[in-house]
Amino acid sequence: MNILIASSEVAPFSKTGGLADVSGALPGALRQLGHQPVVFTPLYRQVRQSGAVLEPTDVTFEIPIGSKVMIGHLLKGTIPGSDAPVYFVDQPEYFDRAQLYQEEGQDYKDNCERFVFFSRAIMEAIRLLDLPVDVIHCNDWQTGLIPALLRIEYQHARGYEDIVTLMTIHNMAYQGHFWHWDMLLTGLDWKYFNWKQMEFWGNLNLMKTGLVFADAINTVSPRYAQEIQSDLGCGLEGVLRQRSASLFGIINGVDYSLWDPAIDPHLAANYSVDNWTEGKATCKAAIQREFGLPAEPNTPLIGLVGRLADQKGWDLVADVMQRWVNRENVQWVILGTGEPRYHQMLEGLARQRPDRVGVRLGFSDPLARQIEAGADMFLMPSRYEPCGLNQLYSLKYGTVPVVRETGGLADSIRDASPENLSNGTANGFSFQGYDADQLEVTLQRACDTYNTRRDTWRNLVDTGMKQDWSWENSARQYVSVYQQMQRQREVAREAAETTH
């Protein structure tokens, strides 16, 4: 199957979040299954700075954007670790910028224009490259116009007749809202600017556009697919309920060639499920030294990595940390940046109890991995979490996740309840309500298990480390959805021919 993956960011070339990881890992997994993926992404300044090897092509396109015509070019590379090709859409006026979508917290004012250009460039590139395409796999609002362009303008053009589109939602909160006059930039007829298709409360909504026009929709975990049809739909829950028969949940995978404590070069000691007790003890001592914490091998060490924001549950974490810092015998290591109030709170706690709280306000991939390996438990009490990857990394690194039961966290972490422990499925601790008291009770349960039930703790670690959350499983599910879309298209075509 020939699969075109359209994504506004692709690791390791450009990244702001999990979308880049998915777009960078899925092509290689699809190749291993015998399919032919090709990736399209913008040529940002960040791509050039990544050291990517870029080959010129002779493809140039002229794209009408409103009343003007913008010229772009196509360059080519490959996904590292795979021979999957990646095409970079080069238009310096749009993409040669300091950041991908915003600067100093403000979105670029021409984001709609930039990604209309990107979407139209992809549609033209199929023709100009004479590219065989069975499926266009779109990702988030930045590519939401593509299903509409295919359905409205390209469906009957030679080479496009059999293409189907999948729209993947990585985070429902980001929808690509723009004022109504930006409809002119899309080049589509105003008749599509209506409440059933592209309009949302008087504005243009590119996420909604993709959801309405795509052949199928998926999001990055089965639980999140349910949640976005109700309280986490961010205003589009009605659209999603209407399309529920074509809505799937596929949890993201982990690239174990990159995330495996047995081969991770950043760790103080490598280890596997067979010798993790020694390996993690060495890594714990190393991370305690790194953060200036006392070398206490038997004190529970809680790790957190990521954005310091309410979405990630930091209002709950702040409450519990302030209660525990002078009361409970636990250590905390935190790596991340986010809201200034949490920066101030953490710096204050670290000054107050440097023997209990270690903080690094910033981001470092090696240090993130060292925390995953050195911590005893990894805390993710998210308000919502479409998929989450850190809990999957934690399982592989033998670090027991403590999570709120939402989105991908609910799909991947089984609570250490008596029933789950007895049937061998428990791999962490979880709680349901978004509430600091529930978080505290669950953390206390985890610490008590660590301190007093070491056999149970070893079973939790062993279970997690043995689980397979590799991309191969996720890629097979994507292929199944692609094939289902193709079958439905064939059935619809046969029905149409019968009626005529």
Interval 255-277: pLDDT, tens: 898 899 999 999 999 999 999 99
133 and 163 both lie in a single domain = yes
CA distances to 258, 288, 401, 412, 466 from 261, in Å: 9, 18, 16, 19, 13
DSSP-assigned states of every residue in 264-282: -TTSSS---TTSHHHHHHH
Residue 17 pLDDT class (50, 70, 90 cuts):
confident
480 and 456 both lie in a single domain = no
Phi first, then psi: give them for residue 9, nearest 5 degrees: -155, 145
154 and 283 both lie in a single domain = no
157 and 211 both lie in a single domain = yes
443 and 492 both lie in a single domain = no
Give the chain's domain count. Answer: 2
Residue 259 lies in a domain: no
Question: Any idea which residue has 């029905």 for tokens?
Answer: 495
pLDDT of the residue at 344: 96
Q: Which of 473, 488, 493 is nearest to 25 (CA)?
A: 473
pLDDT of the residue at 499: 74
- 340-352 helix and 314-324 helix, angle to the nearest 10 degrees: 20
Element (H, E) at 224: helix 222-227
323 and 229 both lie in a single domain = no
Reported as a single tens digit per residue, the pLDDT across 184-201 is 999 999 999 999 999 999
Q: Which of 313, 310, 359 is nearest to 336 (CA)?
A: 359
Reported as a single tens digit per residue, the pLDDT across 93-119 is 999 999 999 988 899 999 999 999 999
Range with lowest mean pLDDT among 42-51, 411-420, 444-453: 42-51
pLDDT of the residue at 500: 65
pLDDT of the residue at 407: 96
Residue 263 lies in a domain: no
Element (H, E) at 431: strand 429-431
Residue 289 lies in a domain: yes
pLDDT of the residue at 446: 98
- Rounded distance, CA 113 to CA 281, Å? 52
pLDDT of the residue at 497: 78
126 and 216 both lie in a single domain = yes
80 and 138 both lie in a single domain = yes
- Rounded distance, CA 467 to CA 458, Å? 15
Type of residue at 184: L
381 and 234 both lie in a single domain = no
Apex 284 CA angle, 279 and 286, nearest 5: 100
Q: Are 430 and 380 in contact (CB under 8 A)?
A: no
Element (H, E) at 348: helix 340-352
pLDDT of the residue at 172: 94
Element (H, E) at 112: helix 111-128
C-beta atoms surrounding 32 within 10 Å: 12
Q: Which of 251, 183, 204 is nearest to 407 (CA)?
A: 251
Q: Which of 110, 118, 239 is nearest to 181 (CA)?
A: 110
- Residue 204's domain spans which residues? 2-253+472-499
369 and 224 both lie in a single domain = no
Q: Give the residue-averaged pLDDT of 51-73.
A: 95
Residue 14 pLDDT class (50, 70, 90 cuts):
very high
Burial of 369 from C-beta contacts in 10 A (0-12 / 13-18 / 19+)? buried
- Rounded distance, CA 206 to CA 199, Å? 9
Question: Any idea which residue has 């529920």 for tokens?
Answer: 244
- Is residue 400's pLDDT more than 70? yes
Q: Give the residue-averaged pLDDT of 411-423.
A: 97
* Token representation of residue 18: 């999990």
214 and 321 both lie in a single domain = no
265 preceded by cis ω (within 30°)?
Answer: no
Share of the chain above pLDDT 90, in %: 91
Reported as a single tens digit per residue, the pLDDT across 475-499 is 999 999 999 999 998 888 888 778 7
Q: Are 376 and 399 in contact (CB under 8 A)?
A: yes
CATH number for position 41: 3.40.50.2000
Reported as a single tens digit per residue, the pLDDT across 213-235 is 999 999 999 999 999 999 899 99
Reported as a single tens digit per residue, the pLDDT across 137-190 is 999 999 999 999 999 999 999 999 999 999 999 999 999 999 999 999 999 999
Residue 271 lies in a domain: no
